[in-house]
Amino acid sequence: MYEIPVFTSDTYNNTSYVRSGYLPFNPLLNKSLVSFQTIELYHHLFMRCPRLGIQPFVRALCDLQGVRFKNNLSVQISAAYDLYIRLVEGVRLKVRQALGRDSSNWRMLNNCPCCQYEVVGELELAIRMLLGIDGNNSLKRFQRREPPSEDGKSLGPEKEREDNRIGGGDYFLQPEAVDLWDESQWHKWPGWTPKERSPKIPCEDRWSNLKESNTNRTFGHFDVNGIFGGFCRHSFTIVFLDMIRTGEHSKYMLALLNHFMSASREDRQRLGLPKNPSGSLGVGYDIACGMTAKIIRSPLNDLAQKERLSMMIGLLHGYAHNRLCQLSFLLLYIQGAGIEDLEVCERYFAQSNALAPVTQYMGRFRRRQAIANYAYHRDNMESYHNLSRFIVSNYKQALGILSRSRNTACTLRAVGLLDVKNAAVWLDEEKAYLESHQDIPEEDTTKSSYYLALGKLWECQDELRRARSTFRMESGPPSELNIDHANQLVLTERQMVNKQEMEAKLLLDVQSLEERLGLRRDQRWKRDSEAWNSARELVQTAKYRKAADKLEGLTVARIFELSKMNVAGTGYKMRQHIGDAMKKCSKAILSALEEYNACAASLKPPRKLLDWDDILNYTYLSEFNFLRESRADILDKPWAKPAVREAMSELFKLIRAGEEINRLHVEIKRLLTYMKEEEEYFATVVRRHRDNDEPLAYQIWLHGRERSRFNEVHRTRLKSIQKLKGFTVSNSHFFQPGIGARRQTVDGTEVVDAEAEGQNPNNENSDESETEDEEDERTEAILTIANDPV
Ligand SMILES: [Zn+2]
Ligand SMILES: [Zn+2]
């Protein structure tokens, strides 16, 4: 902070302060100022370390300058920071206008070079872009209110200063656009007709955000309960939505997808590209199973079909879903998914959560502004910086998996899986089987109930018989009774009456079940009769299934705890807490495991017993449906044999790795083209403005440098791929820049090459990478998480 120097010539003092490199604290009278460099330093520190609020920064400044900290200094610096952000945003807008990039959706549609900068004649991908979407509860906002009502039941009225500014720019979708997607508003969409609700989703009990009653609830003092966001697989932001007074409601997902898909569609139309895209849009969401049904019923269905929306479940979350869901949504089985895990939201939020302590108490405008600034910084300084690292690391992982192809081929031969097509057919068979065996037949349930009711009735009758004989033995002539004996007799009589009442009740149960089973009185089952024995087996199987359910539930819970533990940014205390929870959970798993094994052994024939290692390897979760399956016919199916299942899994990993290499080739070419054309474009625009508006030319140059500073490291890293063991030399042509289908010219319009569509000069396919010479040295990357014995 500096004492005000005397400035002249400008009409307003503040203009002359800013011109001289200082920021004022208020519009009128300023006794001191702060330099741009100081505020810029704070801005960059805040972006890199969002936990850093203004106050500790101002305290540090006071320490440096040897003055005492006063609260009003924080208020002043905060006002100057607001002004700084306004100026930066104003400059950024001017630069965007000069670049012809100021339309409202430009950023969203052009943010990621690898996903969005199409190159003329590139390889067509089955999935054109992979996104992850999810809600996050950390970035909530506390609303200032008057004290609650006297009875304490309702919150006091809002007491915040009115602020009409919205904030967040093109990083946020407005609440009005979101509310249109609430189910109660669907009828307002033209052409939409109500469809029947889908039956209960098998995973509903497992995922709290699949239950509407959970997502509808509000959260007291918080008017914004968090954000819902979408990111491409390289962590570039698509858009954020504020979750206002609800949990992770389905309207956020629908609004986000509608916003992105309709903007992409309009953009293609504007550029004269074909109306319908060639590849699908893969969207990973942890509850994709339930949400797919919702999308089909909603007004979004039409657009989703045209844009070829395909919902998927991220790798880690996928294993916690029911096997039927896995067969439809697990990335391992989706054609074109590559080795992507689509857990990008978890990674993004793990870092952005650091914003929460600072933004929680901000006003609406300031909070959104801070989140948008953070996202801008993250997109350009981190996600862009990490792009080539991402590509190199995935390339290595995919080569590593492909290098095992010879071993996998041996395994496949050993289990008789000679034709790759069979694997897909077997998956379909498994799905059809599970679909047709979802519910236990009603007759089996009635038989089990009858078996249990009969058992209880007989037990009760035995006890009654015993009570009667005791009563007869104990009751003698009244004259011989002493008081104690008389009391005992009354007690025995009461027990006998109770048992009699119980018997009558149980008899009624038994009779009603006999009616349902169509049995006459004389056909009542006898102990050890054939019907009795088969019903006993049914009951034992049910008990066994229950034990398997419990074990599976605990294992799923353990995965979630583990995933929280591994997230960067989880504090020490939280980790301790999770560690304790894990220990308790492990004990519970051990006892559930014992119970499960006891039940499994009692079945005829006995089921496979599990050990601790099976539980630790959580890919085993996908086997639970089979464990529960009691019908003998399943054992004859080729796809139900453990060795075959394992071999199929290996095969799918191999296929996905081949796809990943293809996708990476496309991404590499896009990135190289993007860097070259952006550098040229910026240089031209800067040249154009240098003579008539030098400051603007400088700002455009600075804007270009935001990303171009990383270009050299990208080129070096991408080059290193060609030296990897297992790299196929004939793929080298992907490492040359092509011609961008969206490249811009100096007059600000994008050039579209009609040849961009439909051409596929590269007839490379994954098989070429699977050469015989590939060695088994690379890291085993795909599903490292999945295969990790923890
Ligand atoms: Zn599911
Ligand atoms: Zn991307």
Cα–ligand 1 centroid distance for 41 (angstroms): 47
Q: Give me the mean pLDDT over the 205-228 stretch.
A: 69
Who wins on pLDDT, 551 or 762?
Answer: 551
Cα–ligand 1 centroid distance for 210 (angstroms): 9
What per-residue confidence (pLDDT) applies to 760?
Answer: 37
What per-residue confidence (pLDDT) applies to 761?
Answer: 33
Torsion of CA 690, 692, 698, 700, to 10 degrees: -90
Residues recorded for the chain:
790
Who wins on pLDDT, 173 or 470?
Answer: 173
CB 243 within 8 A of CB 135: yes
Asked if residue 105 has pLDDT above 80, the reply is yes
Cα–ligand 2 centroid distance for 112 (angstroms): 5
Least confident of 78-92, 559-573, 604-618: 559-573
Q: Give me the mean pLDDT over the 484-488 stretch.
A: 72
Cα–ligand 2 centroid distance for 290 (angstroms): 26
CB 32 within 8 A of CB 4: yes
Cα–ligand 2 centroid distance for 113 (angstroms): 7
Nearest ligand (C-alpha, residue 203) = 1
The Cα–Cα gap between 399 and 775 comes to: 10
Nearest ligand (C-alpha, residue 664) = 2
Cα–ligand 2 centroid distance for 345 (angstroms): 13
Cα–ligand 1 centroid distance for 327 (angstroms): 10
What per-residue confidence (pLDDT) applies to 356?
Answer: 87
Cα–ligand 1 centroid distance for 310 (angstroms): 15
Nearest ligand (C-alpha, residue 323) = 1
Cα–ligand 2 centroid distance for 284 (angstroms): 14
Cα–ligand 2 centroid distance for 175 (angstroms): 26
The Cα–Cα gap between 107 and 749 comes to: 15
Task: Please give the structure tokens belonging to residue 397.
Answer: 């992982």
The pLDDT confidence band at residue 518, using thresholds 50, 70 and 90, is confident
pTM, two decimals, is: 0.76
Asked if residue 5 has pLDDT above 70, the reply is no
Cα–ligand 1 centroid distance for 319 (angstroms): 9
Cα–ligand 2 centroid distance for 225 (angstroms): 27
The Cα–Cα gap between 620 and 600 comes to: 17
Q: Give me the mean pLDDT over the 285-305 stretch.
A: 92
Cα–ligand 1 centroid distance for 395 (angstroms): 30
Amino acid (one-letter) located at 440: I
Under 8 Å CB-to-CB from 402, ≥6 apart: which residues? 654, 657, 658, 661, 726, 766, 769, 770, 774
Cα–ligand 1 centroid distance for 355 (angstroms): 31
Who wins on pLDDT, 155 or 703?
Answer: 703
What per-residue confidence (pLDDT) applies to 776?
Answer: 30
Cα–ligand 2 centroid distance for 168 (angstroms): 21
Amino acid (one-letter) located at 691: D
Asked if residue 789 has pLDDT above 50, the reply is no
CB 545 within 8 A of CB 439: no
Nearest ligand (C-alpha, residue 289) = 1
pLDDT in tens, 738-757: 999 888 877 655 554 434 33
User: Long-range contacts of range 685-694, CB-CB < 8 Å, 24 or more positions apart?
Assistant: 685/98, 685/99, 685/746, 688/746, 689/98
Sign of the CA dihedral running 44, 45, 51, 56 = negative
The share of the chain scoring above pLDDT 90, in percent, equals 36
Cα–ligand 1 centroid distance for 133 (angstroms): 16
Cα–ligand 1 centroid distance for 601 (angstroms): 30
Sign of the CA dihedral running 171, 177, 178, 179 = positive
Distance in Å from the first CA to the final CA of the chain: 53
Nearest ligand (C-alpha, residue 282) = 2
Nearest ligand (C-alpha, residue 313) = 1
What per-residue confidence (pLDDT) applies to 689?
Answer: 93
What per-residue confidence (pLDDT) applies to 3?
Answer: 54
Q: Give me the mean pLDDT over the 44-61 stretch.
A: 91
Amino acid (one-letter) located at 387: L
What per-residue confidence (pLDDT) applies to 762?
Answer: 39
Separation of CA 608 from chain center: 33
pLDDT in tens, 257-280: 999 999 999 999 988 888 889 899
Cα–ligand 1 centroid distance for 86 (angstroms): 45
Cα–ligand 1 centroid distance for 290 (angstroms): 7
Asked if residue 475 has pLDDT above 90, the reply is no
Q: Give me the mean pLDDT over the 595-609 stretch.
A: 81
The Cα–Cα gap between 108 and 292 comes to: 24
Under 8 Å CB-to-CB from 99, ≥6 apart: which residues? 681, 685, 700, 703, 744, 748
What per-residue confidence (pLDDT) applies to 133?
Answer: 95
What per-residue confidence (pLDDT) applies to 9?
Answer: 64
Strand ranges inside 2-100, DSSP E: 2-3, 22-23, 32-35
Nearest ligand (C-alpha, residue 319) = 1
Nearest ligand (C-alpha, residue 320) = 1
Cα–ligand 2 centroid distance for 181 (angstroms): 26
Nearest ligand (C-alpha, residue 207) = 1
Query: Mean pLDDT for the chain?
Result: 81
The share of the chain scoring above pLDDT 70, in percent, equals 80
Asked if residue 559 has pLDDT above 70, the reply is no
The Cα–Cα gap between 134 and 119 comes to: 30
Separation of CA 665 from chain center: 26
Task: Please give the structure tokens belonging to residue 536.
Answer: 């006993």
Nearest ligand (C-alpha, residue 210) = 1
Under 8 Å CB-to-CB from 546, ≥6 apart: which residues? none
User: Long-range contacts of range 393-396, CB-CB < 8 Å, 24 or more positions apart?
Assistant: 393/781, 394/338, 394/339, 394/660, 394/664, 394/781, 395/661, 395/664, 395/721, 395/724, 396/724, 396/778, 396/779, 396/781
Phi, psi of 424 (to 5 degrees): -65, -40
Under 8 Å CB-to-CB from 127, ≥6 apart: which residues? 279, 280, 281, 282, 310, 334, 336, 337
Cα–ligand 1 centroid distance for 780 (angstroms): 27
* 3-state DSSP of 198-263: CCCCCCCCCCHHHCHHHHHCCCCCEEEEEEEEEEECCCCEEEEEEEECCCCCHHHHHHHHHHHHHH
What per-residue confidence (pLDDT) applies to 576?
Answer: 59
Cα–ligand 1 centroid distance for 325 (angstroms): 5
Task: Please give the structure tokens belonging to residue 80.
Answer: 């100057």
Who wins on pLDDT, 415 or 74?
Answer: 74
Give the CA radius of gyration of the chain: 34
HSE-up (13 A, CA, CB side) for residue 770: 21
Cα–ligand 1 centroid distance for 624 (angstroms): 14
Cα–ligand 1 centroid distance for 332 (angstroms): 15
pLDDT in tens, 221-230: 677 888 999 9
Cα–ligand 2 centroid distance for 467 (angstroms): 77
Asked if residue 567 has pLDDT above 50, the reply is no
Least confident of 145-149, 258-262, 511-515: 145-149
Cα–ligand 2 centroid distance for 303 (angstroms): 22
Cα–ligand 1 centroid distance for 553 (angstroms): 14
Amino acid (one-letter) located at 145: R
DSSP 272: T
Cα–ligand 2 centroid distance for 117 (angstroms): 10
Q: Give me the mean pLDDT over the 733-742 stretch.
A: 93
Opening angle at CA 157, ends 156 and 159, nearest 5: 115
What per-residue confidence (pLDDT) applies to 701?
Answer: 96
Under 8 Å CB-to-CB from 611, ≥6 apart: which residues? 593
pLDDT in tens, 424-465: 888 888 888 777 666 666 677 788 888 888 888 888 888 888
Please, where are the H alpha helices in 34-70?
36-48, 54-65
Asked if residue 371 has pLDDT above 90, the reply is yes
Q: Give me the mean pLDDT over the 728-738 stretch.
A: 93
Nearest ligand (C-alpha, residue 328) = 1
What per-residue confidence (pLDDT) applies to 755?
Answer: 40
What per-residue confidence (pLDDT) applies to 253?
Answer: 95
Who wins on pLDDT, 326 or 102?
Answer: 102
Cα–ligand 1 centroid distance for 206 (angstroms): 8
CB 140 within 8 A of CB 224: yes
Helix axes 442-474, 483-517, angle to 10 degrees: 160
What per-residue confidence (pLDDT) applies to 481?
Answer: 56
Sign of the CA dihedral running 681, 687, 692, 694 = positive
Asked if residue 764 has pLDDT above 60, the reply is no
What per-residue confidence (pLDDT) applies to 98?
Answer: 94
Who wins on pLDDT, 8 or 108?
Answer: 108
